[in-house]
Amino acid sequence: MRSKITAAVATAAVAALLLTACGGGDGGSGDAATSDQPAAAGAALTIAKPDGAISTESNNPWLGDSSANKLGYKNVLFEPLAMVNPVGKNETTPWLAEKVVWNDDYTELRVTPREGVKWNDGEDFTADDIVFTFNLIKDNKALDTGNLQLTDVAKDGADVVLKFAESKFVKQAQVLHIDIVPEHVWKDVKDPTTFTNEGKPVGTGPYTLESFTSQSVTMKARDDYWGGKLAVPELYYVSYNDNTALTTALASGEADWAQAFISNIQSAYLDKDAEHNVFWAANTLSPDVLFVNTQRPPFNDVAFRKAVNMVIDRPAHTKIAREDAGPVLTSITGLPTPVGEQYILPEYQGKEFSIDVDGAKKILEDAGYTGVGTKLVAPDGTPVSFTLQVPQGWNDYVTGISLIADQVKKTLGADAKVDTPDVDTWWAAKRSGDFDAIMHWTDGGTTPYDLYSDTMDGRWLKAGADVDYNFGRFTDDAVTAALNTYATASTDDERSTALAEIQKAFVEQVPVIPVGTHPVLAEYNTRKYVGWPSEDDQYATADPLQPSAAMVLTKLKPAN
């Protein structure tokens, strides 16, 4: 029941943080800006992305391809009820809510709206805006991208009560991170799925849209923000042509803040200003895995899946492909550590991946394979061949699957190929199941549920020919039932029993092959401002594309 406790405690904390805004430090992390800090006292921050020109303005927070979503400025324009921290203590911090309280089985959420909040057009934020927003989702399935399954939205005195058809224990963030929109603007919108919301979009966030061009967006700090005065007066969201241009901008100081994988980051970025340039890979419960097609050879054979799992050099993957962006994935449960240690079963505590070529060969030989280590042949006489795929340009993933292909060839004798199609072709193939093996991430969350559901849950397959996870089509009804129990249970004991069955299946049946950690990456500098999240102060990730970007900006203060 962690969220019910931490959300209540954090109410007082956020009030103290944002409204009184005390204290501070002068390192890479620290406390919020002081409340008497004038909004226009500091320099602007440039937030960078490598996506090229974005020609069309759209400030609709519901649309994944809107400019507000792509560049990330929707996170300082609109705000959620609360922010769930995927790192640190996994705490829930109320935001537009004074308090959020779940019932025992997480099918009902009571929200106490924060008082004193105004929309940037001067109108008061009220409980009616919360009711309107969630009814908008309830009545428009296209907006319900998190499959909230709302059954009722109603005011109860000063509070708002949300009811759901199923437990939201494992999906609390998907509820709490919904951007609240103003009823007085959106009630007249005929189709919220196409509304572009151009011009001067109305939000409660700390910044307002000042200007939009295909190359950059300017956001200006509000002087009436409910969270207090902001140290950063302006934000420039700039889209560079590619990662190379972005890296150059970060290294030169032209850009200040980004979420990007940078090759040779030590020399390309950190060494350019060793005193101020920072790279933080925030480890979450989200590993990179090989989704293998369990419905066709060779990965329909668990013996082959086990053998491949035993010959992958994970330290090499971390050092070469990921350039040490995050720790090595060590636990055979697939859970990144130390963040996932609390969820590892006693029987798997301390059991780590290691290269065991002899053990892998024995598994294959016992299963009837021949030519093990030279030219692998399946028990039915078919030479073993498969193709690993990731999109061209995804350099870390391309390097990663190339390493794996070499390792499998040299140790097991399988004909492992590498293919790098364009992203659209790859995306369609992964959803339809037209692949042998692909490198992909899993969702993170604050429990192991997302990792195990994304890789083993049969309910993903009910969507039809194209799926959004469980790309390898792994099927085990008992595991699916256990995942459902974990997600819907009303007691910790029920969840623990279900997790034991789920984790054992993951280890023994190898539905996917865990490869490496998938931390949330971020680059920033401390030349202008301090107070950033860091390894030593994990109040949020440092990714400017996350809802917590608004929280980060309330914590920043001038470096001098």
Alpha helices in 277-316 (DSSP H): 302-311, 314-316
d(CA 407, CA 418): 12
Question: Cα–Cα distance between 389 and 65 in angstroms, integer?
Answer: 25
The CATH H-level (homologous superfamily) assignment of domain 41-76+205-276+526-559 is: Periplasmic binding protein-like II (3.40.190.10)
Cα 248 from chain centroid (whole Å): 26
- Is the preceding peptide bond at 298 cis, omega within 30 degrees of 0? yes
Domain with CATH 3.40.190.10 in the chain: 41-76+205-276+526-559
Task: Output helix, strand, coil percentages for the chain, rounded to the nearest 5.
Answer: 35, 20, 45
Tokens of 73: 């400025």
Q: Which of 173, 165, 120, 128 is nearest to 146 (CA)?
A: 173
Q: Is 558 in contact with 41 (CB distance < 8 Å)?
A: yes
d(C-alpha 396, C-alpha 290), whole Å: 14
Do residues 18 and 555 lie in contact, with contact meaning Cβ atoms separated by under 8 Å?
Answer: no
Q: What's the pLDDT tens digit per position in 263-273? A: 889 999 999 99
* Strand ranges inside 248-376, DSSP E: 257-258, 277-282, 287-292
The answer, yes or no, to whether the previous bond of 50 is cis (omega within 30 of 0) is: no
Question: Cβ distance 131 to 163 under 8 Å?
Answer: no
What is the DSSP pairing of strand 234-239 with strand 45-49?
parallel
Q: Give the pLDDT of residue 41.
A: 53
Count CA atoms within 13 Å of residue 408 on its CB side: 27
Q: Which residue from 501, 448, 71 is spatially nearest to 257, judged by alpha carbons?
A: 71
d(CA 353, CA 511): 16
Architecture of the domain defined by 284-519: Roll (3.10)
Radius of gyration of the chain (CA): 24
Given a contact cutoff of 8 angstroms between Cβ atoms, the answer to whether 145 and 134 are in contact is no
Separation of alpha carbons 412 and 365, rounded Å: 11
Pairing relationship of beta strands 437-441 and 385-389 according to DSSP bridges: parallel
Question: Range(s) for CATH 3.10.105.10 in the chain?
Answer: 284-519
Calculate the alpha carbon distances from 410 to 140, 301, 414 in Å: 53, 20, 8
As a whole number of angstroms, the distance between CA 551 and CA 543 comes to 11
User: What does the pLDDT read at residue 356?
Assistant: 98
Q: Which residues pair with 290 in a beta bridge?
A: 439, 513
Task: Say if residues 310 and 407 touch (Cβ distance below 8 Å).
Answer: no
Which residues are 440's β-sheet partners?
Answer: 289
pLDDT tens sequence across 286-307: 999 999 999 999 999 999 999 9
Question: What's residue 54's pLDDT?
Answer: 84
- Helix (H) or strand (E) run with residue 151 in it: strand 150-156
Ranges assigned E (strand) in 269-383? 277-282, 287-292
Predicted local distance difference test score (pLDDT) of residue 25: 35
Q: Assign residue 541 a region (left: φ > 0; alpha: ψ between -120 and 50; beta: otherwise).
A: beta
Cα 240 to chain centroid distance, Å, stands at: 22
Q: Cis check for the bond before 338: say yes or no (omega within 30 of 0).
A: yes
Phi and psi angles of residue 391, each rounded to the nearest 5 degrees, phi first = -65, 145
CB 438 within 8 A of CB 389: yes
Low-confidence ranges of the chain (pLDDT < 70): 1-41
Give the β-pairing of 108-113 and 159-164: antiparallel
Element (H, E) at 10: helix 2-15
- Chain centre distance of CA 262: 18
CATH topology of domain 78-204: Dipeptide-binding Protein; domain 1 (3.90.76)
pTM of the entire predicted model: 0.78
- Determine the pLDDT at residue 35: 34
Nearest-angstrom CA–CA distance, 18 and 23? 12
**Phi, psi angles (nearest 5°) of residue 224:** -125, 25
